[in-house]
Amino acid sequence: MIGGVLVASVAVAAYGLVSGAHRYTAAGNPYPGGLVGVAEPVGWFAASLSGALCLGALAYVAMMSRPQPDGLLDAGAFRIHLLAEHVSIAWLLLATAMVPVQAANDSGVTLPELLGGAALLDSIAASETSRGWIVSAICALPVAVTLRFITRWAGHVVLLIPALIGVIATAVTGNAGQGPDHDYATSAVIVFAVAVAMLTGLKGATVITRAAPNRPVLVVQVVCGLLALGYGAVLLFLLGSGGAIGSDFGRLGLVAGILLTLVCASDCRALVVAARSRPPGRGSGITALAMVAVTAALAAMATQTAPRFLTHRFTPWDVFLGYELRQPPSVLGLLTVWRFDGFIGAAAMVLAVGYAVGFVRLRRRGNDWPVGRLAAWLIGCAALVFTSSSGVRAYGSAMFSVHMAEHMTLNMFIPVLLVLGGPVTLALRVLPAAGDGQHPGPREWLTWLLHSRVTTFLSHPITAFILFVGSPYIVYFTPLFDTLVRYHWGHEFMAVHFLLVGYLFYWAIIGIDPGPRRLPYPARIGLLFAVMPFHAFFGIALMTMTSAVGGGFYRSVNLPWLESIVADQHLGGGIAWGATELPVVLVIVALVAQWARQDRRVAIREDRHADSRYADDELDAYNAMLRELSRMRR
């Protein structure tokens, strides 16, 4: 494995040296010197590989460990923990080193000149990819520090979140986040980057620790391989614009695609062997080396300008939106102007199919599951696809008023439907339990996560209330919105954030799924009504502001048919002010129905107790005698 990494590093360095000034002059950029020309692809490869190994090792611990009753890792998982601990330090150092290297590359000056001059900070601020490496380093820091102090399963699962963000950060700030159709490319590269990093990391952890992967690990590897192939083809089409095959960019992409196909075929074969109740064998070092080569090819592709950008004449809409909006929004436009989101929209479709499969499997076993829950979940997923991929998203990325309607739908309407679906309860009833002597599976992972301290904290009604109420103020009334609204990855981040925060809040209010803490029904209704003044004040504040939130971005988009940005913001504030009524009505109806069912169950139990009062009195007397004997013995 180490030898393969060294060979790949030499190959990437040779590419940077041979390509020389050619890849800079082709894009019309100044040549920053041979040191930067070699350091950029080599550093990109090394940092990306380190991040992938860290992510894969954390995922491997989550899937392969057999925690002790107190939550501590077993010996086999601890070896992988040590790998993640060491690799995370290398990831942190390499990502930090890439910040000035990337800034020198993008500003066209040599590295000594940049480090010795006074324009270092300005060059870093002007380079989007440098800022991506800063985010990657910031995410690697808590992973590297926390791994020094934790030895529990839940902690490794939580660290998957910053590891995923760190892997995504550099991908969305590269070629995929620029130019025409960058909304499609950004959504695709999020899935692609995670799939490639996860596949590379799992294989690397398997080979380095000499572990034998279980069936869930093989399933994850096969899924990641298929996702990488599918989304990689989409990215090559979007960035190559038909002429990629004849360029270095296209040839490297073709090599990566062939290697990914071979790796995916090998993993499929191993999964078939494991499905026949035979040991799948130890991780193949050949496929791990193939993924190292894929990472090297992708690093070389990331350090050159995509062929599509070399011939395209950019417009402001290409830069800020990725598409054109010639007509003002209308009901027909919101329904027909579709730009499918390959990240959130695809995830919603997968969730709908997975829930339906679980419903059918449960019914075939003869177990009952309310059809109303199925309907709520499917309607919620359909609404998520529509909100993330229709004209609501297309116009929402350019207009504050439509964006606010999208935000309210994601934060207050869709989570209600998803929570009413009870997906965790369905999963716990459908997923099989691991047998004696077998590795824990998805059912055990879900159970551990539900009982973890992190879930207990996040699902606490007070925590969920603070997140639900405070998020709009933090996002929109700070400079954070100016950054997020500028990029498509920012819109994806806001959508995921508001959806999860809404789900946590409504889980605490009307959650059908099991949770660590449940308030009595009067307190739930009170907490629900306590939210309304905060949302009303938020809407009123937007309606009375004289300056535009995110005004710099909206002025740069410069929609020809939008007369006033401030007036559009006032409309968005009115939407935020009036959008709480329908979700509140839905939640009140659900709470009243749950309350009535609970009272009915209590009444049935009391009637049953009254009918068998004599037998219960004898049983109570017998239990009292046993308690007295126990007390006398003590």
Query: CA-CA distance, 140 to 163, in Å (whole number)?
Result: 7
User: pLDDT for 554-564, tens place per residue?
Assistant: 999 989 989 89
Q: Same structural domain for residues 159 and 298?
A: yes
- What confidence score (pLDDT) does residue 251 get? 86
3-state secondary structure 301-362: HHCCCCHHHHHCCCCHHHHHCCCCCCCCCCHHHHHHCCCCCCCHHHHHHHHHHHHHHHHHHH
Comparing 132-141, 272-281, 569-578, the range with the smallest average pLDDT is 272-281
Q: How far is CA 204 from CA 62, 321, 519, in A?
A: 16, 38, 46
Q: Same structural domain for residues 425 and 550?
A: yes
Q: Same structural domain for residues 429 and 529?
A: yes
Q: Same structural domain for residues 262 and 365?
A: no
CATH of the domain at 93: 1.20.1630.10
Query: CA-CA distance, 497 to 507, in Å (whole number)?
Result: 15
Query: CA-CA distance, 105 to 130, in Å (whole number)?
Result: 10
Asked whether residue 28 is domain-assigned, the answer is yes
User: pLDDT for 394-441, tens place per residue?
Assistant: 999 999 999 999 999 999 899 999 999 999 999 999 988 876 667 788
**Residue 614 pLDDT greater than 50, yes or no:** no
User: pLDDT for 12-55, tens place per residue?
Assistant: 888 888 887 777 887 778 888 888 889 999 999 999 999 999 99
Q: Same structural domain for residues 349 and 266?
A: no
User: pLDDT for 276-313, tens place per residue?
Assistant: 665 555 446 888 899 999 999 999 998 888 888 887 78
User: pLDDT for 325-373, tens place per residue?
Assistant: 989 999 998 898 899 999 999 999 999 999 999 999 998 988 889 999 9
Domain count, the chain: 2
Asked whether residue 611 is domain-assigned, the answer is no
Comparing 183-197, 462-476, 487-501, 579-593, the range with the smallest average pLDDT is 579-593
- What confidence score (pLDDT) does residue 192 get? 96
Assigned token pair, 417: 């439907």
User: At which of 270, 290, 307 does a domain end?
Assistant: 307
Q: Same structural domain for residues 388 and 537?
A: yes
Whole-angstrom distance between the N-terminal and C-terminal Cα of the chain?
A: 63
CB-CB contact of 230 with 198 (8 Å) = no
Higher per-residue pLDDT: 180 or 245: 180
Q: What is the dihedral of CA 365, 368, 371, 374, to 10 degrees?
A: -60
Largest Cα span, the chain: 95
Q: Same structural domain for residues 218 and 354?
A: no
Assigned token pair, 188: 């695709």
**Residue 122 pLDDT greater than 90, yes or no:** no
Q: Which of 291, 313, 259 is nearest to 53 (CA)?
A: 291
Other C-beta atoms within 10 Å of 45: how many? 28
Q: How far is CA 487 from CA 128, 137, 279, 389, 400, in A?
A: 11, 20, 46, 16, 14
Q: What is the mean pLDDT of the chain?
A: 86
Asked whether residue 314 is domain-assigned, the answer is no
- What confidence score (pLDDT) does residue 242 get? 55
**Residue 212 pLDDT greater than 80, yes or no:** no
Asked whether residue 601 is domain-assigned, the answer is no
Query: CA-CA distance, 52 to 193, in Å (whole number)?
Result: 9
Q: Same structural domain for residues 449 and 531?
A: yes
- What confidence score (pLDDT) does residue 613 get? 47
**Residue 504 pLDDT greater than 80, yes or no:** yes
Share of the chain above pLDDT 90, in %: 44
- What confidence score (pLDDT) does residue 619 get? 63
- What confidence score (pLDDT) does residue 535 get? 84
pLDDT range class, residue 536, cuts 50, 70, 90: confident
Assigned token pair, 516: 């660590």
Asked whether residue 597 is domain-assigned, the answer is no
Asked whether residue 397 is domain-assigned, the answer is yes
Query: CA-CA distance, 98 to 91, in Å (whole number)?
Result: 10
CB-CB contact of 616 with 609 (8 Å) = yes
CB-CB contact of 400 with 346 (8 Å) = no
> How far does Cα 215 stand from its chain's mean position?
23
Q: Which of 320, 88, 59, 361 is nearest to 213 (CA)?
A: 59
**Residue 610 pLDDT greater than 70, yes or no:** no
Determine the average pLDDT of the residues in 512-532: 80
Q: Which domain holds residue 469?
A: 332-580
Q: Same structural domain for residues 146 and 36?
A: yes
For residue 151, give the DSSP letter.
Answer: -
CB-CB contact of 434 with 444 (8 Å) = yes
Asked whether residue 613 is domain-assigned, the answer is no
Q: Same structural domain for residues 266 and 362?
A: no
User: pLDDT for 61-94, tens place per residue?
Assistant: 888 888 777 778 888 788 888 999 999 999 999 9
Instruction: Please tell me the pTM assigned to this model.
Output: 0.90
DSSP letters spanning 433-472:
PPPTTSPP-HHHHHHHHHTSHHHHHHTSHHHHHHHHHHHH
- What confidence score (pLDDT) does residue 187 get? 95
- What confidence score (pLDDT) does residue 351 get? 96
Q: Which of 322, 571, 324 is nearest to 563 (CA)?
A: 571
Q: How far is CA 299 from CA 38, 143, 170, 249, in A?
A: 12, 23, 11, 11
Sign of CA dihedral 408, 413, 416, 419: negative
Q: Same structural domain for residues 225 and 192?
A: yes
Q: Which of 422, 504, 416 is nearest to 467 (CA)?
A: 504
Query: CA-CA distance, 259 to 290, in Å (whole number)?
Result: 6
Asked whether residue 327 is domain-assigned, the answer is no
Q: What share of the chain is helix, strand, coil (3-state, %, to 5)?
A: 75, 0, 25
Query: CA-CA distance, 347 to 335, in Å (whole number)?
Result: 20
Q: Same structural domain for residues 39 and 186?
A: yes
